[in-house]
Structure 1
């Protein structure tokens, strides 16, 4: 997370999950009890028995971690549904890979691993977006089967089949 902070993440204008977490937890989560509370909060975000915060949707957070060394490379968020903001800007899936781990295949692997998770949530296809000038992210999305739909507010919007073949995914209405 210090790498994200060093690249300017966590400032008030950073609306990403990483930005939110850096602002809320960043200087405290080295304490095991604080980190445990942070993880419990992430788990609640995925729990449909717990109402999401106003304006938010349920979200499953997955971490990209080396199984042997335990090194944290990033995270990927699987949002269980779309609200207006997510439909135009954020999508069902968003990911953040720490700067020193970029361009090494972690984002592609994480997105591939997240697609079945989305399918298990009943989404037959998911919306994944990236900034129009983020060539690396665009390549990740396209490598994972992303089909370009359009550009909105500087974001390229792609639909990816989860392989679920059933469910209520938003793609049916959006043509994904």
Structure 2
């Protein structure tokens, strides 16, 4: 059964396969402003080296700590991977705060499912599993956004209890209760 876990070197081979899938669909280009896109452009083929990958895993885990500075343009975030056994299926980040840009564009939770694992409920499972963690970080409700034409992501957000607030530019904005009081 898939689960959200801290990043781990145990899924190295599967992670590399997933990155190839993301790159094949155009991720990691200059136009990709996501955290995944930034990571692909920064690390690229260097991930194949086990030591570099271990460093990347450590950086992902450290991203949640208050003594770690996030990359320029990003905020502190708890980064988790959606895995089943030694298979990397996706990644999710719970941002620790909203900036003006995140309020309009990115939201508090962002997620990516590798292309070969899509349409099997992984995004819904991953988002649903993250809600108690977001609550423990002090978020209730959480803002989750998606492109206005991304029907699959809209369905994921709504299946997890997302309540539509508005559209800002190309983004639809939803709020999801995390169960806090």
TM-score normalised by the chain length of structure 1: 0.89
Task: Pick the aligned partner of 2:42 from 24, 33, 49.
Answer: 24
Q: Distance in 2 between matches of 1:100 and 1:52?
A: 30
Residue aligning to 1:109: 125
1:150-165 → structure 2 map (5 Å cutoff): 150-165=166-181
Report which of the two has the higher share of helix: 2
1:55-66 → structure 2 map (5 Å cutoff): 55-66=73-84
1:90-169 → structure 2 map (5 Å cutoff): 90-165=106-181
Residue aligning to 2:15: none
Q: Distance in 2 between matches of 1:78 and 1:104?
A: 22
How big is the shift at 1:97?
0.6
Q: Distance in 2 between matches of 1:11 and 1:49?
A: 29
Uncovered stretches (5+) of structure 1, i.e. residues with no partner:
166-176
How big is the shift at 1:31?
1.1
How large is the Cα RMSD of the aligned pairs?
1.1
SS in 2 for 1:64: strand
How big is the shift at 1:18?
1.4
CA offsets, 1:117-169, max 9 Å, x none? 1011011110000000000000000000000000001100000011122xxxx
TM-score normalised by the chain length of structure 2: 0.87
Q: Which piece of structure 1 moves more, 54-63 or 101-110?
A: 54-63
Q: How many residues align?
A: 163
Q: Distance in 2 between matches of 1:56 and 1:10?
A: 16
Residue aligning to 1:81: 97
Residue aligning to 2:64: 46
Residue aligning to 1:172: none
How big is the shift at 1:54?
4.2
